[in-house]
Amino acid sequence: MGSTVIGARRPRGMLLMVLPATALVTLCALSLAFGALSVPLDQVWDTLVGHAPSTRIENVVWSVRVPRTALGLAAGAALGLSGALMQALTRNPLADPGVLGVSAGAAFAIVFSVGVLGLGSVYGYIWFAFAGAMASSVLVYLLGGLGRSGTTPVKLALAGVAVTSLLFSLTSAIALTDPDALNRYRFWSAGSLANQNEEVLVRVLPFLAVGAVLALACAPALNSMALGDDVAASLGLRLGLTRIQGVLAVTLLTGGAVAVIGPVVFVGLVVPHIARVLAQYAGVGPDHRWLLPLSAALAPCLLLAADIVGRLLARPTEIQAGILVAFIGGPFFIAMVRRRRLAEL
């Protein structure tokens, strides 16, 4: 009976992945086509297969838009995966690398390393991004656990907002006192896929890959933890080891993504909820073996869509993707907080 149910769920789960995969391919094509210079899709295809109609189009597609699209895929998947993992580890539907201060910690550490220590390369400051992400996540969790009621989702969210505000104030203070740090921070802080090349992606990709492997490996344990710590422990799960693995995965995913595209918030909050709705509709239920990869596939869709819309709305300039994502995620976050009943405080 059990094997029959599992066998039935697998094809339904595979069918569930068709929708985000199709959307992702479509958005990648649009990302290569649209911008300050619009390139017809047939010319995009010709360029990709080595028959570019002109040198200008070849340079635009290969030197600008292919790295930008690939970065959106990698960073979006990292943020979606880390958000889904954080929500599962904390059993907090409001958890998100941006909301819980992880992105702000990485951002502060990067600006500190650039403005104070004079580091200028991704390999130089990415280690500070990891350290900042780890430190801020621990601080938020400790603050969220204060009081007689212990840790609650709303208290964690409020602690994250407080820590994020503090860290962004410190980040701004450093940036304003150093012209080089200010020039980097001014554009980078809005969250953008622009002005990056394939070398940056190649350097950060190993960290994101290791984080993704660690996150996906947590999926069976997360299903057990959803039943409660006591039940999970009785099933033989090593809770401490799973949480350490999860925190390490979130640190690598968030730190790597923030290092290259800036502190984009709300991607990790919104996407896992959409993934749960789709999973429920497909009948696979709250199985993290499907929810984690589904979140990793849906998040780049949101990030790339915001990036494309930002290019089209303000041509020949653009609106940063992080601004448009925040425009979507802010109301979503408010609605989620209201549903969690502020009486929990």
Give me the domains of the chain, ranges plus CATH numbers: 71-88+96-344 (1.10.3470.10)
Angle at CA 284, nearest 5°, toward 281 and 287?
120
- Segment 286-300, tens digit of pLDDT: 889 999 999 999 999
Question: Which class for 216: exposed (0-12), middle (13-18), buried (19 or more C-beta within 10 A)?
Answer: middle
**CA-CA distance, 102 to 250, in Å (whole number)?**
9
- Segment 323-342, tens digit of pLDDT: 899 888 778 777 776 765 54
Supply the pLDDT for residue 299: 95
Q: Return phi, psi of residue 84, to 5°.
A: -65, -40
- Residue from 79, 65, 59, 71 nearest 31 by CA: 65
Better pLDDT: 182 or 35? 35
Better pLDDT: 99 or 268? 268
Mean pLDDT of 79-105: 86
Range in 47-56, 157-166, 186-195, 222-231 the model is least confident about: 186-195
Q: Does position 12 have pLDDT exceeding 70, yes or no?
A: no
Q: Which of the given ranges, 5-19, 100-114, 183-197, has the highest pLDDT on average?
A: 100-114
Q: What share of the chain is helix, strand, coil (3-state, %, to 5)?
A: 75, 0, 25
Confidence label for 60 from pLDDT (cuts 50, 70 and 90):
very high
Supply the pLDDT for residue 82: 94
Q: Does position 244 have pLDDT exceeding 90, yes or no?
A: no
Share of the chain above pLDDT 90, in %: 33
Q: How many helices (H) and strands (E) does the chain have?
A: 16, 0
**CA-CA distance, 99 to 158, in Å (whole number)?**
9
Supply the pLDDT for residue 199: 82
Confidence label for 8 from pLDDT (cuts 50, 70 and 90):
very low
Supply the pLDDT for residue 301: 95
Supply the pLDDT for residue 111: 86
Indicate the average pLDDT of the chain: 84
- Segment 307-327, tens digit of pLDDT: 999 999 988 888 899 889 988
pTM: 0.86
Q: Does position 3 have pLDDT exceeding 70, yes or no?
A: no
